[in-house]
Amino acid sequence: MYLMSEGGHTIPVVAPLEAEGAYTLLWLVVALPLLGAAVLLVGGRRTDRWGHLLGTATALASFVLSVVLFVDLLGREESERQVAQRLWEWMEVGGFSVGMDLLYDPLSALFLLLITGVGTLIHVYSIGYMEHDPRRRRFFAYLNLFVAAMLTLVLAENYVVLFLGWEGVGLASYLLIGFWQHKPSAAAAAKKAFVINRVGDIGLSLAIALMFVTFGTTSFTQVSELTSGAGEGTLTALGLLLLLGACGKSAQVPLQAWLLDAMEGPTPVSALIHAATMVTAGVYLVVRSNFVYELAPHAQTVVVVVATVTLLWGAVIGCARDDIKKVLAGSTMSQIGYMMLAAGLGVYGYAFAIFHLITHGFFKANMFLGAGSVMHGMADDVDMRRYGALRKAMPVTFLTFAMGYLAIIGFPLFSGFWSKDKIIETALVESPVAGVCALVGAGVTGFYMTRLMLMTFFTDKRWKEGVHPHESPSVMTVPLIVLAALSVLGGILLLGDWIVGWLAPVVGEAPHHEPPVPVIVLTVLTVAVVAVGVAAAWFLVGRREVARTAPQDVSFAVRAARADLYGDAINDAVVVRPGRRLVTLLLGVDHRGADGLFTGGGSAVAGVGGLLRRVQNGFVRSYALSVLAGALIVVIALMVVNS
């Protein structure tokens, strides 16, 4: 069943079939990692010795199950590729009912593979990375929890279950970012991520409330049918609220500030947050809600604006940072911006958003784990100014990282080339301004990634004394090799426009547009811009001596970029400080006003009591007088009433 949009293309309605056969095991995909987390957390120290193996095994089992389901889905007719499973009735209030419903369709299928696949590799890698951490078992429990929450998010059939996964992801990210809680900076970063995510969650929960008010339901199936009957104002509001939620989770401007601090967590966590889970949730939300956005063009425009700002913002931050993880974090922001941009372009871009999300999942996980491997060899130093010439010391890490690097800058034939090129191309056709920004962003990406590459693996040795870089154990390098292979080959998803056709039942099919200039010209243009960025990095970083400490006499622009374009300062000035002032004010009102009222009332009663107790003077005769007076009053009253 399809609805028609104003543009004349079709918007698919979610119309799943009842789960049967292998699909009745759908719940296991979520339940296995959840069970792993529960066993590891409840089992406590008894599970210390084998906890990491159990955690990895549950993720792997989930992955195997996802592959089985995916293969089965591949064999089905296009119209039968949506399967829903009702686990139980979750809540029922009057006419409103929410079921614990799961939806398995081409979109969730891809996410399932990405989350469990990359998630499993990260689990394997963590066995080596966290080997000497006394709390490794707990770490794996949280990783499992993270994966389970993200799987709930992408398998949900209604927005309430999605919200459950959404909050689960928020909780797990809080626990993992603050995993080294003995460091105050890590604890603060975790809190920051949590609080900023709450701001986004307000948007999502309001969106759910609005949906309930407007449609009386939150299930994708029903909402997708009913959107065409709603007013455009409502849908725009809905789209903006969903976007606010997506901004929080996906670190889009203005809720981007948590992402760089989130680097305080162990590196596998950064890989998990940036590649397979968490930040992709926002993109998923927008793509999943395509039936809302397609009918709310204004909301779509806002998505495009936010995405464009973010992709440049993140790229600029990536250029200035010397901390290898923060450069990668800036690049994640920027790449998620690309995905959001594609998602904002509507039916032309949804498939490419998901395509880039998947290839980005591969190469960003690859690079984060590679960065972790470098840190592992460099005694946990993250400052690139103290790296250099590591390609000989860590050949495997270097080669795998190089694959990720070539993929992210969009080197021809690597996965990122296909996915990013498609987004830039679509943007240039659909929204030229955003397209040009995306093109510039691609050049900047080439610059900062080359800078990272040069400072880490090339140039001269700037190691601190006593640091002896060494290759990581194979439990860490094997996931790197697998991810590197995926980074290279991820582009085959686009072969014959496979992914576009695959996602068509979920996001609809775009009407054919002939681009104003041949596609090949756009591709060459993109590659040329990237080449300029790479060359700039070569001349500015590769051919010069790299300073051991960051130079301080720099221009305003560099200082701004180093301070994350004053993102924190803006938050402070706009939200934190006025908030503090408001709280101080309210506290004063509370202390003087409310408290005064109540303590004043209390002391008044006490004072009156103090006076009244004088009546109890111990003289029997005065009591007798009181009794007499009372009796007289009763008699007089009786006489008055009876007369």
User: Which range, of 101-109, 568-576, 587-595, 620-628, touches other proteins by CB under 8 A?
Assistant: 620-628
Cα–Cα distance measured from residue 601 to residue 592, given in angstroms and rounded to the nearest whole number: 13
Select 554 or 628, whichever has its Cβ closest to other proteins: 628
Distance of CA 442 to the CA centre of its chain: 22
Q: How far is the CB of 634 from other proteins (least distance, A)?
A: 15
Residue 187: C-alpha distances to residues 179, 329, 382, 566 (Å):
8, 18, 19, 22
Who contacts 272 (Cβ-Cβ below 8 Å, separation ≥6)? Answer: 118, 119, 122, 143, 146, 147, 176, 278, 365
- Evaluated on CA atoms 209, 213, 219, 224, the torsion sign reads negative
Indicate whether 624 belongs to the interface with other proteins (CB under 8 A): yes
Indicate whether 619 belongs to the interface with other proteins (CB under 8 A): yes
Three-state secondary structure call for residue 312:
helix
DSSP characters over 456-502? HHSS---PPTT----PPPHHHHHHHHHHHHHHHHGGGGGGGGHHHHH
Select 468 or 613, whichever has its Cβ closest to other proteins: 613
Cα 271-300-167 angle, rounded to 5 deg: 40
Q: Which two tokens stand for residue 601?
A: 């009332």
Select 625 or 637, whichever has its Cβ closest to other proteins: 625
DSSP characters over 51-114? HHHHHHHHHHHHHHHHHHHHHHHHTS-GGG--EEEEEEEEEEETTEEEEEEEEE-HHHHHHHHH
Query: How many other CB atoms sit within 10 Å of the CB of residue 605?
Result: 10
Indicate whether 616 belongs to the interface with other proteins (CB under 8 A): yes
Three-state secondary structure call for residue 145:
helix
Q: How far is the CB of 608 from other proteins (least distance, A)?
A: 14
Q: How far is the CB of 615 from other proteins (least distance, A)?
A: 8
Among 618, 639, 640, 643, binds other proteins (CB under 8 A): 618
Among 549, 552, 555, 617, binds other proteins (CB under 8 A): 617
Cα–Cα distance measured from residue 456 to residue 386, given in angstroms and rounded to the nearest whole number: 8
Select 91 or 628, whichever has its Cβ closest to other proteins: 628
Query: Phi and psi of 93, rounded to 5°?
Result: -130, 110
Select 495 or 620, whichever has its Cβ closest to other proteins: 620
Q: How far is the CB of 641 from other proteins (least distance, A)?
A: 21
Q: How far is the CB of 94 from other proteins (least distance, A)?
A: 58
Are 561 and 317 in contact, with CB atoms under 8 Å apart? Answer: yes
Considering only residues 36-55, where is the footprint of other proteins by CB under 8 A? none
Select 519 or 624, whichever has its Cβ closest to other proteins: 624
Cα–Cα distance measured from residue 249 to residue 202, given in angstroms and rounded to the nearest whole number: 12
Indicate whether 628 belongs to the interface with other proteins (CB under 8 A): yes
Select 91 or 629, whichever has its Cβ closest to other proteins: 629
User: Which range, of 138-146, 270-278, 292-300, 616-624, touches other proteins by CB under 8 A?
Assistant: 616-624
Q: How far is the CB of 635 from other proteins (least distance, A)?
A: 12
Q: How far is the CB of 618 from other proteins (least distance, A)?
A: 3
Cα–Cα distance measured from residue 183 to residue 367, given in angstroms and rounded to the nearest whole number: 25
Distance of CA 625 to the CA centre of its chain: 80
For residue 350, give the nearest of 297, 435, 288 by alpha carbon: 288
Among 45, 49, 512, 614, binds other proteins (CB under 8 A): 614
Indicate whether 642 belongs to the interface with other proteins (CB under 8 A): no
Size of the site for other proteins (CB under 8 A): 11
Indicate whether 613 belongs to the interface with other proteins (CB under 8 A): yes
User: Which range, of 438-446, 574-582, 594-602, 622-630, touches other proteins by CB under 8 A?
Assistant: 622-630
User: Which range, of 62-70, 395-403, 450-458, 610-618, touches other proteins by CB under 8 A?
Assistant: 610-618
Among 134, 495, 621, 641, binds other proteins (CB under 8 A): 621
Among 433, 573, 575, 625, binds other proteins (CB under 8 A): 625
Q: How far is the CB of 619 from other proteins (least distance, A)?
A: 5
Cα–Cα distance measured from residue 520 to residue 526, given in angstroms and rounded to the nearest whole number: 10
Select 556 or 619, whichever has its Cβ closest to other proteins: 619
User: Which range, of 113-121, 202-210, 550-558, 623-631, touches other proteins by CB under 8 A?
Assistant: 623-631
Map residues 562-601 to x or -, x wherever contact with other proteins holds by CB under 8 A: ----------------------------------------
Select 573 or 628, whichever has its Cβ closest to other proteins: 628
Cα–Cα distance measured from residue 259 to residue 203, given in angstroms and rounded to the nearest whole number: 19
Residue 585: C-alpha distances to residues 490, 594, 596, 597 (Å):
56, 13, 15, 17
- Evaluated on CA atoms 184, 187, 188, 189, the torsion sign reads positive
User: Which range, of 122-130, 316-324, 338-346, 621-629, touches other proteins by CB under 8 A?
Assistant: 621-629
Query: How many other CB atoms sit within 10 Å of the CB of residue 53?
Result: 13
Select 93 or 612, whichever has its Cβ closest to other proteins: 612
Considering only residues 337-376, where is the footprint of other proteins by CB under 8 A? none
What is the biggest distance separating any 2 CA atoms in the chain, rounded to whole angstroms? 115
Indicate whether 620 belongs to the interface with other proteins (CB under 8 A): yes
Q: How far is the CB of 606 from other proteins (least distance, A)?
A: 14
- Cis ω before 254 (30° cut-off from 0): yes
Q: How far is the CB of 628 from other proteins (least distance, A)?
A: 6
Cα–Cα distance measured from residue 10 to residue 241, given in angstroms and rounded to the nearest whole number: 24
Residues at the contact surface with other proteins, assessed by CB under 8 A: 613-614, 616-621, 624-625, 628
